[in-house]
Chains A and B, each alone.
Chain A
Amino acid sequence: MSSPPRDAPGAGVLRAAFAVARKELGESFRDRQTLLYTFVLPLCMYPAMFWIMVQGVLVVQGQKQARDVTVGVVATAETAEAARGQLALDEEGRGRIEVVALDPETPRDADAIAELIEGEEADALLFLPDGRSEDDPAALFFDSTSSQSETARGRVVSALEGWTEELRAEAAEARELDPEVLEPILIQTRKINPSKDDGALVLSLLLPILLVVMCVLGAFFPAVDLTAGEKERQTAETTLLLPIPRLGLHLGKIFAVCATSMIAATLNLLALGLSAGHLLGQLAGLGDGAPKVELPLGALISIAPLAALFAFFVSAVLTGVASLAASFKEGQALLGPVQMLFMLPAMATNLPGMELTATTAWIPVVNVSLAFRGLLVGSASAGPLLLCAFSLTVAALFAIWFSVRLLSSEEVSLSSETISMTRILRILRPR
């Protein structure tokens, strides 16, 4: 009887890990759920979903602009008539403003006005006293919870700007003054950044969250499949008998989960980046001065090392936690809350004032999200980025230790029950 060769390729931990990862990846890509979340969603569903959403918004906006509104004017008959002439100007592509003259004695009482708006007598009420009055100024009443009333407000404010300008010019002329005297400071606001920076700003609000979400979603199903799913399929014993070091086996699983996570994140970022220019441009309804939304290739390449570290961190955490479950279903239930722990901090990074600093660089999830945003808008500096890379490396190594420790436990790898918190603490206890 010949003995198997002693120089079998199980000797190297990393070589074994890559062999396991290759096999697990191949198997994962034959799993429908993994395929759906890794390929189908980014390549087909997300662009389609965003396109439908943008088209929906455009339709709603168009309907809003074309909508007729009714404004009740509370003024003397003469002023009300003047207001009708000014407000009811036809503008191409916009709905009409129908002016209804109301009783000049109508009180400026919010409840009474609300009743009038609810009773559909008017969408907004404009109080126009004759001449300027400190005690009894002109006022526009509207209901901010009503889309129709809000539209009426916008339309009236816009029309009043032109009327005010006209009245100012008439007053200056009556006093034989140059109308410019009444406007001593003429302000022009000019944007100094190129249009593509506006696009980068828009993407900086979307892509960092998408990076985190897709890293987590991409790792979710493989993590459950390679751990709890393996117990359910009764292949855990077979895997433990592989002639390779156990560390290599467990690292191989984490590598496979990480690879799926990175593939999912990359495809999603590319798909959204490519479709965002067209779709967001449409959404803003902008012409030549519109922000240009371009695929931020430079930022994507720059973020890749940090994203890879983050994907390792996520994959190791999810694989470790999923290994505690005895079945696929239990694995999904366990990972649900963990998934939220990753996603919520990513969303919080869109709060005003959040930036990558020496402090935020230490907070996992928040750091990678802020670093990506910084790279997208060009505000990231080397110090915090390096700190972020260091902290993500520490987090990923700790997560890998945590995961390997759990996977190496006999209780975890072969248990037919979900592992309790007490047992987890016993497993993780220093030996």
Chain B
Amino acid sequence: MTDPTNTSAIRAEGLAKTFHDPQRGVVEAVKGVDLDCRKGEIFGLLGPNGAGKTTTLRMLSTILAPTAGRALIDGVDVAEDPLEVRRRLGFLSGSTGLYPRLTGRETLRYFGRLHGLEGERLEAAIARAFDAFDLHAFGDGRCEALSTGQKQRVSIARAVLHDPPVLILDEPTTGLDIMASSDMIQFIESRREAGTCVLFSTHILSEAERLCDRIGIVYDGRMLAAGSLDELRAMTGKEWLEEIFRELVQRADAGEGAA
């Protein structure tokens, strides 16, 4: 059940994930991550490749089941009611994940219908998405024929068509050119204004510095620290995000990492 007094849009406690890898045996990809993202907040998960960012986001979006811990999206437990969680979030990754043989309009119609939009409401939502993301020139062409930037715009429209209170973006600017990347950053900023909670992962420091209200530093499956840039500066005594990141990683490697 949703608690109306709770301002947390995303909350995770001790979230962990263990895989059985044929080559490496048992792999602890995420080792007890705590996370609290508020409504209308942009929260960045910053970390190197293999740190556990994507696995964390996949658990929060119900793609993977956590091995341990608990996570709530808009007050709904991901393990207890994953279907309701999926209704309340929009998810986007750098690979766009569009069905290549569907057109942009068909993609939006398919997702809209499954999100409970029908008839005029559905068509109105699609028309708004076409206007908002300027899909008119290519939205009726098959996705396989679109450029990367065009695919990304259709993909964003798909993720927010049902106006979700929570957006989870997995390295959304990876592989995008300068213009498409800039469009994505503008889109993320616009969601803050709309009151949506945006959780996104990145390893691009400048992106995190510019966009995030708060930043979580993830390393080796652990959340080393989380807070606003000023809070992280105070925590480490360093000025720049790159220095902060290095300091936290060195502490973790030396066994002093604190979550």
Chain A residues packing against B (C-beta within 8 Å): 1-10, 16, 19, 23, 26-27, 30-31, 233-235, 237-238, 240-245, 410-411, 414, 417, 420, 423, 426
Contact = CB atoms under 8 A, between A and B. Distances in A.
Contacts of B196: 1
Nearest to A230: B99
B101 A30 contact: yes
Interface stretch (B42-50, B86-94, B211-219, B229-237): B86-94
Contact of A241 (B22, B61, B163): B61
Given A1-B39, A4-B164, A244 B101 contact: no
B119 interface: no
A27 B101 contact: yes
A19 B97 CA distance: 19
Given A26-B106, A410-B64, 18 more contacts: A1-B196, A3-B74, A4-B116, A10-B87, A16-B114, A233-B100, A234-B97, A235-B98, A235-B100, A237-B95, A238-B98, A241-B61, A243-B83, A243-B86, A411-B20, A414-B63, A414-B64, A420-B22
Contact of B88 (A4, A7, A242): A4
A245 B84 CA distance: 10
B63 A10 contact: no
A16 B83 CA distance: 12
Interface string B154-182: 00000000111100000000000000000
B83 A423 contact: no
B113 A243 contact: no
Q: What interface size band does chain B fall in?
A: 35 or more
A1 B165 CA distance: 6
B91 A241 contact: yes
Contact of A8 (B61, B65, B115): B115
B65 A237 contact: no
Contact of A5 (B62, B93, B110, B116): B116
Contacts of B58: 237
A4 B162 contact: yes
Which 6 pairs between the two chains have the least Cβ-Cβ distance? A8-B116, A238-B97, A30-B101, A243-B86, A5-B116, A243-B87
B114 A2 contact: no
Contacts of A8: 87, 114-116
Q: Which of A3, A4, A5, A426 has the most CB of B within 10 A?
A: A4
Nearest to B63: A240
Contacts of B97: 234-235, 237-238
Question: For the complex, would chain B's binding face be called helix, strand, loop or mixed by DSSP majority?
Answer: loop
Interface of B: 20, 22, 39, 58, 61-65, 74, 83-84, 86-88, 91, 93, 95, 97-102, 106, 110-111, 113-116, 142, 162-165, 194-196
B83 A244 contact: yes
Q: Which of B88, B95, B114, B116 has the most CB of A within 10 A?
A: B114
A410 B65 contact: yes
A30 B101 CA distance: 7
A9 B63 CA distance: 20
Contacts of A411: 20
A241 B63 contact: yes
A4 B114 contact: no
17 contacts: A1-B196, A2-B163, A3-B74, A4-B88, A5-B116, A8-B115, A9-B116, A16-B114, A30-B101, A30-B142, A235-B98, A238-B97, A241-B62, A241-B86, A242-B114, A243-B86, A410-B64
A243 B114 CA distance: 6
B242 to A, nearest CB: 30
Contact of A234 (B61, B62, B95): B95
Contacts of B39: 1
Nearest to A242: B114
Contacts of A3: 74, 88, 165
Contacts of B93: 237
Contacts of B84: 6
Contact of A245 (B83, B99, B101): B83
B22 A417 contact: yes
Contacts of A414: 63-64
A245 B91 CA distance: 17
A292 B81 CA distance: 62
Contact of A242 (B86, B95, B116): B86
Contacts of B111: 242
Nearest to A411: B20
A2 B64 CA distance: 26
Contacts of A7: 116
A9 B64 CA distance: 23
Contacts of A233: 99-100
Nearest to A16: B114
A235 B98 CA distance: 6
Contacts of A1: 39, 163, 165, 194-196
Nearest to B163: A2
B219 to A, nearest CB: 23
B99 A244 contact: no
A11 to B, nearest CB: 8
A282 to B, nearest CB: 42
Given A4-B164, A27-B99, A237-B93, A423 B22 contact: yes
A207 to B, nearest CB: 33
A2 B162 CA distance: 9
